[in-house]
Structure 1
Amino acid sequence: MTARFSGQKAKGETAGLPTVDSRSVHERVYDEIRIGLSQGLFAQGQTLTTRGLAATFGTSEMPVREAIRRLVAEKYIVQLGNRSFQVPLLDREAFQDVISVRLLLEGHAAASAARKAGPEDIARLREVNAEMRRALDNRDAQQTLRLNEEFHFMVYGITGSETLLDTIETLWSRSGPYLASVVAIDGELSVFHKAEQMHDAIIAAIESGNSAQAETALVADISFAVEWYEEKRS
């Protein structure tokens, strides 16, 4: 399972990377690129270079090359040349295929969370959604994307299923770049204002222990953003 970080470093930032062996740096770079993909910090079709990523993460190119090699093998990114790579462009059919599986699995996860959540889980979900509301008020797109992802994976983490979480993470890494397109189109972040409100409905359903309502609310949250995006790009 990819280690989930509390946030992403700004481009060129070097602070926060401790002195560790090359394997640890490789894993950190791999994890942060995967998380960046799932959070929508990398756009569809965006070109990546080992030099640029090394500068972003404040490391040498060697661990970046190792991370990139894994990501290419796992089809999260594609190779264009010796030093150039690209975030894949999903055609409509491929995108809908990923989303249809996400709806099934994430709806199931929300239903399971409703059966297992305790008061502390509900409190944390409310706290993260409140942080997302503040990020939206500040028009902080990157923080909004991070907190949106954190909210969802907090819900899925309640299930206690590592297999389910791993699979959902993979799907987010494949579909996440479309969120960057949503932000580019939706300068006012209206889609995420709606998502923050829909998160309240998810929390209420989980708190009440209503599995069917939790699944419905979670599916509605994903579907609204996807339908908005599909309409705008058509």
Structure 2
Amino acid sequence: MKTPAPTQQDQTYARLRQWLTVGQFLPGERLKIHAIADKLGVGVMPVRAALQRLAAEGALVNVPHAGMTVPKLSLAEFDDVLQTRLLLEGEAAERGAHRLDAAGLEALLALEQHMCNALAAHDAKAYLYANELFHLRLYQAAASPTLMALIETVWLKVGPLSNKLFEVSASLRVINEAHGDAVMALQAKDSAGVRRAIEKDLFVAGQFLRPFCGG
């Protein structure tokens, strides 16, 4: 049976979901329907429906008299999300390392270099997009749709906070190190080493982001 083509509403939802994941919207930011519709070149109805769908997933909150807003994580919520990410993404990284082919490894090597270049240029947007693709490709190699769906749901909660990494100069010297460790472990066919590198990446970034959370 042929898969139905995605509707405009589906496409709008997917785009907004990715923007949240890579930190294009900030914690506490109010999302303006007409501005988003203009940016995407769509009507307000698909945007409104997509925002309601994201709110149902907990990625947005409907604040009285303010509309759809990106939630701010408390410290306890952030720590809970981080621990969940360590469990899910560590597992996906190790499984993905077992199954990654030569083309997949080359793609990760290129993405790691893109991240290096983005850091040198202090380009937060380019870094975060390359970072998402790096993790996505590695985890997708695990061939577990269930695990991937859980990871993407957790990403929605922490994505808006990720831009804050670029407000801490100390983070810029170390946040890409674990990706280098991961590709070296992949080249050595050390799947446990890949898991450790990804867990290190999440933990180190988490320590820089924790101070930006609420009480």
Partner of 2:28: 45
Q: Are the aligned partners of 1:110 and 1:206 in contact in 2 as well (CA < 8 Å)?
A: no
Consecutive aligned runs of 4 or more in structure 1 exceeding 6 Å deviation: none
Deviations 1:117-164 (A, max 9, x none): 222111110011112222222222111111111111111011111111
- The equivalent of 2:93 in structure 1 is 110
Q: 2:156 aligns with which of 173, 184, 190?
A: 173
- Residue of structure 2 aligned with 1:101, choices 66, 84, 87: 84
Amino acid at match of 2:78: F
Aligned residues: 210
Q: Where does 1:52-131 land on structure 2 (aligned, <5 Å)? A: 52-81=35-64, 84-131=67-114
Gaps of 5+ in 2: none
| 5+ residue gaps, structure 1 | 1-20
Residues 73 and 213 of structure 2 are in contact (CA less than 8 Å); yes or no, is this contact kept in structure 1?
A: no
CA distance in 2 between counterparts of 1:28 and 1:193 reads 36
Contact 1:133 1:193 in 2 (8 A): no
C-alpha deviation, 1:37, in angstroms: 1.0
Alpha-carbon shift at residue 31 of structure 1 (Å): 0.7
Cα distance in 2, alignment partners of residues 211 and 137 from structure 1: 29
Q: Secondary structure at the match of 2:176?
A: helix
Give 1:83 deviation, angstroms.
6.9
**TM-score, normalised on structure 1?**
0.83
Distance (whole Å) between structure 2 residues aligned to residue 69 and residue 82 of structure 1: 16
Q: Which residue does 1:222 correspond to in 2?
A: 202
Aligned residue for 2:25, secondary structure, equals: coil
Q: Secondary structure at the match of 2:174?
A: helix
C-alpha contact 2:75 2:213 (8 A) present in aligned 1 = no
1:72-101: per-residue Cα shift (whole Å, max 9, x none)?
A: 111110112477210011111111111101
Q: 1:113 to 1:207 in 2, by over 3 A?
A: farther
CA RMSD of aligned residues (A): 2.0
**Cα distance in 2 between the residues matched to 1:63 and 1:110:** 35
Change (3 A) 1:227 1:83: closer
Q: Please, what TM-score do these two structures have when normalized by structure 2?
A: 0.90
Tell me the residue number matched to 2:178. 198
Query: Which whole-Å CA distance do the structure 2 matches of 1:214 and 1:53 have between them?
Result: 38
8 Å contact kept, 1:41–1:177: yes
